[in-house]
Structure 1
Amino acid sequence: MSGQNQNQDDCEGTYSTSTHEYANADSTDLFADIFADFEPQNTTDGSYRGTMAKIKATELQYQAVFEQKLVEANTNLKRERIRVSIKQTGNSLQLRATLPLKPGDKAPLRRGDRSSGKEKKQYDLSLGIPANLEGLKTAIEESYELGKLIARHTFQWNEKYLGIKSREKQEIKTIGELLDTFDEKYYQTRQRTITSQNTFANYISVIKRNFPLTHLATKENFEEIINSFQGNKKNELIAVTSVLIKTFNLGFTLDVTRDNVTPAHREIPEDDQIISSFDLFEKFALNRKNTNISDEIDTWEMWRWVYGMLATFGLRPRELFVQPDINWWMSPQNIDHTWKVNKNTKTGYREVIPFVPEWIELFDLKNPKPLKILEKKVAKIASVQNINWMRRDISRWFRKVGIEFQPYDLRHACAIRAHLQGIPIKAAADNLGHTVDEHTKTYQRWFGIENRKKAFGEVISQKSLIELQKNEILALRMENERLKLEVEKWKSRENV
């Protein structure tokens, strides 16, 4: 057997084995560990900027893993003597190989020889493969396929390798057609966590509510609908549409401007109103008549407990339902009465100190009965949608029992109370799961005139008290000096 045939057989044998063990490996198995040891940066404050920081950190992790897998793929190709390598150019992957001359291409001249050239040349083949992990799997498969053609000397230039099909304009899909594969595409570059699933569910909801699914996914169609809205609604559509465009690499950016929105005024409840509203749950239960909804017979006690926890700790509602650590809450070792927020929530894990410790007893927050109901509710949670339902149920119960403010107002009240209590901003922000900047910017807008009066009054009262104490101390010192003089006088008289 000639050396040429021997080499050909070796390449074919390598290809066959590799195709079975590597090239045809399922992408889920091949890249299953992409986020195995990755703990993304928490948003820390729940703000848009914080969320984007987390997204950026995840994207950098994804890119690092992608680059590592690309190196591994080329190492495997080289080790198995496949005469193809994979390279990244911008957002695409190309196959690099030495091939017979492309039709109409001139052979490169040999050094010092103007009359003849090589019959082969190195080419970078663009097959329209995206530079992501799913695309890398495709590129690996194509590399082995091309390697087989090279080894068998059967390679021919066709539309595929000439790039004719990949250069053809892609058919524009409808928004509904994009949604059919949105989940698959979205999670190719993201972790599938409770938080990311909740975010994705919101994207889907926003798109379905506001965009006709039969419309083509074009720049003009998106912009027309977005510009028909104003304020927060418009800003939300810009953000969600931008994610959709980036996920599917639609090839355009939106020429729309976000609106500057002034938050609506909120009346934050005073402590007396918070305490009195706690009793409305039991009043509702006592006054309810002829209900056939058995699930609501005792659940009011759980929702009252939820109310008390929100008021005492300033938690986000979701932070009570995502894998609540009830054992720690009820543990005798929990002497500081802290609540542990699960790492899969919006801003990650934190241990929260009660803003009003005395309310734990006042609201009976260690009562095991509502906690058992909570455990049963949480055990039934099978998806992010279930958590969202429970979060909406809180608002429903507030309205049902006659509470005149919103669940989130209890969180704002804790932020304001922290300042009135003199708690340092950094400590209050950390307790609420915010950066200092976000805490100051977002929550202090609810610090109205009445609370300012309180704050000023407290400071003035404290200053007055300090001045009074200083005067008392000065008077005592003067009296002390007078008594010393009297003693000296008596001593002088005795000596005489």
Structure 2
Amino acid sequence: MAKQLETVNLRLKVAQLGVQLEQRGQKLSLRGTFPPRPNSGRMRSHQQRLSLGIPATLAGLKEGERQAKIIAAQLLAKTFNWHPYLVWSPEARRGEGGLQQQLKDFEDYFWQQPQRSAKPAASRTTWTSAYSPYVRKLATIAAAKPHLTTGEAIYATIDSFPHHSRSRQLCCTALAALGDFLQLELPLNLKTLGGSYNPTKTQARTLPDDGAIASHWEQIPNPTWRFVYGIMATYGLRNHEVFFCDYDALLQGVALPTVRVLSTTKTGEHEVWPFLPDWIDRFHLRQVCLPPINTDLTETTLQAIGQRVTRQFRRYQIPFSPYDLRHAWAVRTIHLGLADTVAAKMMGHSVSIHTRTYHRWITHRDQQQAVEAALNRLNKA
């Protein structure tokens, strides 16, 4: 088969058609310079693969060459249309074996979007956490129930998650994107099936106070993980951000040192000030020492790095999560009167998210402290 494929591609090359056939798994694809796919965000033609859906057999190779010539002529005449090659009928049955290839094409499409190359690490985390689990679940359900149509398999996948849950909402978003890519005409809008989950309506957690944060730092025996804990508490960093920061100001002994979060992180580059500054010396943060974990984002993800931090907190029996240190930092800035616009920028998110998330976490304890501080300022006036 490989020799015959090489011969066909030689004929296509001699004819200067600008396309080549490729075997991908058990199917044939065409590679060449094509116009942008619908909704890709691209403006110019670029190198892409086009799945022909033809089996990689000698008979299929003959049909593949015929279609290659037709498509090449369409490209030359500027009449090529992606639609026939993106449509996957909702009536198609799973026994035809086309699902895996369609899902692979969807993943390729995800990575071809311009915004993915701008932030590869964040995009890898997005695919791993918000798309891949639900695409894999769809593949599993479709394989177990080959009698289902594509649409039925998608609905069955969504129904496998609890109503009004975040996982169901993410599933709807991911499979809606898949449906758009495949141009499926589904009777129900998938996004309406996500339910009423809203992170702002979840139970506000009880955050550790400053005394508890300081005391638990002392219980961590490993100095590198003490540094991780201390830097998160003092600068409100996300789990993974600790490993992608510029700590030069700390190392150089600047009186009020900032930490610069690098652009490789989830929300891009931003600068953070310490709250509380006294914790810099208390937690020995000028002695920058990170644990030796793999931070090569070609081999791991931001999510995996963050999960490593969470596991260490559990190992040291810290009774709150790493993110609680970040949340406590945010509430602390509110007490100290830092403008929401400034705090939000330092946390790497929007002002609306900041106020919606953190102002509702101010507990009676927090309010009492704020009232006492305000009255003390009044008495001193």
Q: One fold, TM greater than 0.5? A: yes
Once the two structures are superposed, what CA deviation does each residue of 1:369-400 show, in whole Å capped at 9, x if it has no partner? x23xx4x4245554234x43331121222122
Aligned counterpart, 1:194: 121
What is the aligned counterpart of 2:228 among 306, 310, 331? 306
What is the aligned counterpart of 1:171 among 81, 92, 99? 92
Answering whether residue 319 of structure 2 is matched by residue 396 of structure 1, we say: no
RMSD: 4.0
Find the residue that maps to 1:351 and give its secondary structure: strand
The one-letter code sitting in structure 1 at the alignment partner of 2:73 is E
Once the two structures are superposed, what CA deviation does each residue of 1:393-442 show, in whole Å capped at 9, x if it has no partner? 21222122121111101111011100111111111111111221110001
Aligned counterpart, 1:321: 243
Q: CA deviation at 1:208?
A: 3.1
Shift in CA distance, 449/330, structure 1 to aligned 2, threshold 3 Å: closer
Answering whether residue 265 of structure 2 is matched by residue 377 of structure 1, we say: no
The one-letter code sitting in structure 2 at the alignment partner of 1:256 is L
Once the two structures are superposed, what CA deviation does each residue of 1:75-119 show, in whole Å capped at 9, x if it has no partner? xxxxxxxxxxxxxxxxxxxxxxxxxxxxxxxxxxxxxxxxxxxxx
Aligned counterpart, 1:234: 168
Distance in structure 2 (CA, Å) of the matches to 1:167 and 1:382: 33
Find the residue that maps to 1:442 and give its secondary structure: helix
The one-letter code sitting in structure 2 at the alignment partner of 1:273 is A
Find the residue that maps to 1:212 and give its secondary structure: helix
- Aligned ranges for residues 446-465 of structure 1 at < 5 Å? 446-465=361-380
Shift in CA distance, 258/356, structure 1 to aligned 2, threshold 3 Å: same
The one-letter code sitting in structure 2 at the alignment partner of 1:205 is P
Shift in CA distance, 183/221, structure 1 to aligned 2, threshold 3 Å: closer
Runs of 5+ consecutive residues of structure 1 not aligned to the other structure? 1-14, 35-58, 71-126, 129-138, 151-159, 283-299, 467-496
Find the residue that maps to 2:293 and give its secondary structure: helix
Once the two structures are superposed, what CA deviation does each residue of 1:174-194 show, in whole Å capped at 9, x if it has no partner? 765543443223223242411
What is the aligned counterpart of 2:212 among 263, 273, 285? 273
Distance in structure 1 (CA, Å) of the matches to 2:75 and 2:239: 57
Answering whether residue 111 of structure 2 is matched by residue 183 of structure 1, we say: no
Shift in CA distance, 358/435, structure 1 to aligned 2, threshold 3 Å: same
Answering whether residue 349 of structure 2 is matched by residue 438 of structure 1, we say: no
Contact 1:339 1:351 in 2 (8 A): yes
Find the residue that maps to 1:259 and give its secondary structure: coil
Q: CA deviation at 1:145?
A: 2.9
Contact 1:234 1:259 in 2 (8 A): no
Find the residue that maps to 1:187 and give its secondary structure: helix
Per the normalisation by structure 2, the TM-score is 0.71
Shift in CA distance, 367/220, structure 1 to aligned 2, threshold 3 Å: same
Distance in structure 1 (CA, Å) of the matches to 2:75 and 2:340: 63
Find the residue that maps to 2:260 and give its secondary structure: strand
Find the residue that maps to 2:285 and give its secondary structure: coil
Shift in CA distance, 164/403, structure 1 to aligned 2, threshold 3 Å: closer
Q: CA deviation at 1:331?
A: 4.7
Distance in structure 2 (CA, Å) of the matches to 1:396 and 1:272: 23
Distance in structure 1 (CA, Å) of the matches to 2:322 and 2:226: 12
Distance in structure 2 (CA, Å) of the matches to 1:176 and 1:167: 15
Contact 1:238 1:258 in 2 (8 A): no
Find the residue that maps to 1:384 and give its secondary structure: coil
Q: CA deviation at 1:315?
A: 0.8
Shift in CA distance, 217/186, structure 1 to aligned 2, threshold 3 Å: farther
The one-letter code sitting in structure 2 at the alignment partner of 1:179 is L
Answering whether residue 155 of structure 2 is matched by residue 218 of structure 1, we say: no
What is the aligned counterpart of 1:259 among 193, 196, 206? 196
Aligned counterpart, 1:354: 274
The one-letter code sitting in structure 2 at the alignment partner of 1:280 is Q
Using the aligned pairs only, state the percent identity: 24
Shift in CA distance, 307/247, structure 1 to aligned 2, threshold 3 Å: farther
Shift in CA distance, 450/205, structure 1 to aligned 2, threshold 3 Å: same
Shift in CA distance, 321/332, structure 1 to aligned 2, threshold 3 Å: closer
Aligned counterpart, 1:120: none
The one-letter code sitting in structure 2 at the alignment partner of 1:19 is Q
Aligned counterpart, 1:145: 73
Q: CA deviation at 1:207?
A: 3.8
The one-letter code sitting in structure 2 at the alignment partner of 1:244 is L
Q: CA deviation at 1:24?
A: 6.0
Answering whether residue 296 of structure 2 is matched by residue 364 of structure 1, we say: no
The one-letter code sitting in structure 2 at the alignment partner of 1:279 is E
Contact 2:295 2:305 in 1 (8 A): no
Distance in structure 2 (CA, Å) of the matches to 1:380 and 1:223: 37
Rg comparison, structure with higher value: 1
Aligned counterpart, 1:249: 183
Contact 2:260 2:271 in 1 (8 A): yes
